[in-house]
Copies of this chain bind each other. A is one copy, B any other.
Amino acid sequence: MQPDDRRDLAAMMYPLMRALVAVELPVLAERGVSMWGYSVLTALDRTPIRTQAALAEAIGADKTRIIGTLDELQGAGLISRTPDPGDRRVRLLAITDDGRRVRRAVAAGIRAREERLLATLPAGDRRGFVRALQALSALPPAELESLAGGE
């Protein structure tokens, strides 16, 4: 029935996701940033985002959930919220220089730990794994779901 007896992808990914979250938590704790805070900083380091709703969508979070996170980040001087000159009701979110430094330090710490995990793999599989993750995670959500869903 199956060409080989591999386990489902989700079943294989589940323990790995848990280990990867375990990678991130101590690095985040050391810098006093939450997981959602780090997601926000990462999104804003790539591109300033105009509204909180757009940011929430970009990081796959609930809109109300990130308000507390944004308050914390702003309180710590890691992001700024300024009124949009074109529409005073809208606030533009941006990362500050401090926020950029914190994000990059966290990313470097996570990266160093990830590399220890990846170093257990043969070089070809390691490259294939990272490239496959990059390609699949770059698919638009609708395309990912249509590939995955339906008959």
A→B interface (CB under 8 Å): 1-2, 6-24, 26, 39, 42, 60, 104, 107-108, 110-111, 113-114, 116-117, 120-122, 124-137, 139, 141, 144-145, 147-149
Contacts and interface: CB of A to CB of B under 8 A. Distances in A.
Contacts of A145: 19, 22
How often does this chain occur in the complex, in copies?
2
A113 B149 contact: yes
A30 to B, nearest CB: 11
Contacts of A7: 42, 134, 137
A28 to B, nearest CB: 11
Nearest to A117: B147
A6 B134 CA distance: 8
A132 B137 contact: no
Given A6-B130, A12-B136, A15-B60, 5 more contacts: A9-B130, A10-B17, A14-B60, A117-B147, A117-B148
